[in-house]
Amino acid sequence: MGRGRRGHSPTVGRSRIRAAAVTVAGVFVLVGILGFVPGVTTGYDEMTFAGHESGAKLLGVFQVSILHNAVHLVFGLVGLLFARTVAGSRVYLTAGGAVYLLLWLYGLVVEHDADQPANFLPVNGADNFLHLGLGLGMVLLGLLLSAGAGATGGTLDRPLDRP
């Protein structure tokens, strides 16, 4: 088997980016589930379907709602599907990271303005910092691990129609 640019096997790079995508997606699934667990989520009886009025906080810090938890679950499940291929892993990490950077900006805009119609996801300052960190981390993982996964002109995956 040939070696990549830096002396690493392309297979190792492929497994790293897929492992990173599976790990990130798995954490999202776990967080989505934990958001529905009383005790892990404080103020559980104050949880609303959507909106900034939800009094529930995951780990007593991150404001959540039913919609917020469902989004985490779906985002994680989609990530597990995407992580089946190198190209999908790259897309999940980089595009998903970009989505979280947009959520960070959304949080900065709507956090202090309860009357905004766009204020449908509960976010607080802790959520904003988490979204920023997730966004940057996911984009960096997607880009840095792509270098060892055949991103420089090698084949990324077999086409979908082949076994």
Per-residue pLDDT tens over the stretch 34-57: 999 999 999 999 998 887 778 899
Per-residue pLDDT tens over the stretch 52-61: 778 899 999 9
Q: What share of the chain is helix, strand, coil (3-state, %, to 5)?
A: 55, 5, 40
The pLDDT-based confidence of 154 (bands split at 50, 70, 90) is: very low
Per-residue pLDDT tens over the stretch 61-99: 988 889 989 999 999 999 999 999 999 999 999 999 999
3-state secondary structure of 132: helix
Q: First vs last Cα of the chain: how many Å apart?
A: 20
Centre a 10 Å sphere on the Cβ of residue 27 and count the other Cβ atoms it contains.
14
The whole-number pLDDT of residue 78 equals: 97
Contact 66, 47 (CB under 8 A): yes
Q: How many H helices and E strands in the chain? A: 4, 3
For residue 152, which of 5, 12, 20 has the smallest C-alpha distance?
5
d(CA 86, CA 15): 8
d(CA 1, CA 9): 7
